[in-house]
């Protein structure tokens, strides 16, 4: 297989994306996959087009509702996703600039750390430095991933940890 990379959502990973959705559902999480009906290629293509909407606007239009979704893929294999919120909003204050997840069967393989590292230049081009990232206190893997990329713990609020992560090239 090719080396994993960040990509705008693509129809080229349809079957492995469906497998990932089933993994997420079996795990009992990710409500955004609950009512997703994307088994038919046309439905999946429409879903991908909707996710790519902000990619088509960026970089010429950076608005408060901009949410860039990237997928971590290895050839035709969907491994995870990463979202970037560059503009301060109420959601940003709670969830940070960058959100991510790796499909259950691809966890503990270094994909999360590599995916976050690959996103830092993109986040920097959006004018975000440092990026705010958050993690649940019980999510040790997420905390290690952030720290492995240079994230510095800044505070805790409830069950959420907050980190600043430098995005400029000299910080990595």
Q: Domain of 52: which CATH number?
A: 3.40.630.30
98 domain-assigned? yes
25 domain-assigned? yes
150 domain-assigned? no
Side-chain half-sphere exposure of 16, counting CA atoms within 13 A: 21
pLDDT tens by residue, 84-129:
998 878 778 888 999 999 999 999 999 999 999 999 999 999 899 9
Residue 67 confidence class, pLDDT cut points 50, 70, 90:
confident
- Predicted pLDDT of residue 86: 87
- Taking the model in full, what pTM does it have? 0.91
13 domain-assigned? yes
Q: Report the number of distinct structural domains present in the chain.
A: 1
pLDDT tens by residue, 14-49:
999 999 999 988 988 666 777 788 999 999 999 999
Give the structural domain span for 27: 5-128
Torsion sign across C-alpha atoms 101, 107, 108, 109: negative
Residue 90 burial (C-beta neighbours within 10 Å; 0-12, 13-18, 19+): exposed
């Amino acid at each position: 297989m090719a080396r994993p990379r960040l990509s705008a959502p693509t129809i080229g990973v349809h079957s492995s994306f469906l497998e990932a959705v089933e993994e997420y559902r079996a795990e009992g999480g990710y409500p955004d996959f609950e009512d997703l009906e994307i088994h038919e290629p046309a439905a999946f293509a429409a879903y991908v087009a909707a996710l790519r909407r902000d990619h088509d606007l960026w970089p010429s239009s950076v608005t408060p509702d901009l949410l860039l979704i990237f997928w971590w893929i290895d050839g035709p294999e969907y491994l995870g996703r990463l979202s970037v919120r560059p503009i301060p909003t109420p959601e940003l204050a709670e969830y940070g600039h960058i959100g991510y997840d790796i499909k259950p069967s691809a966890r503990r393989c270094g994909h999360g750390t590599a995916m976050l590292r690959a996103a830092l230049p993109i986040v920097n081009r959006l004018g975000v430095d440092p990026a705010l990232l958050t993690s649940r206190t019980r999510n040790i893997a997420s905390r290690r991933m952030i720290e492995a990329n240079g994230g510095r713990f800044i505070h805790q609020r409830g069950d959420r940890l907050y980190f600043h992560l430098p995005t400029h090239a000299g910080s990595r």
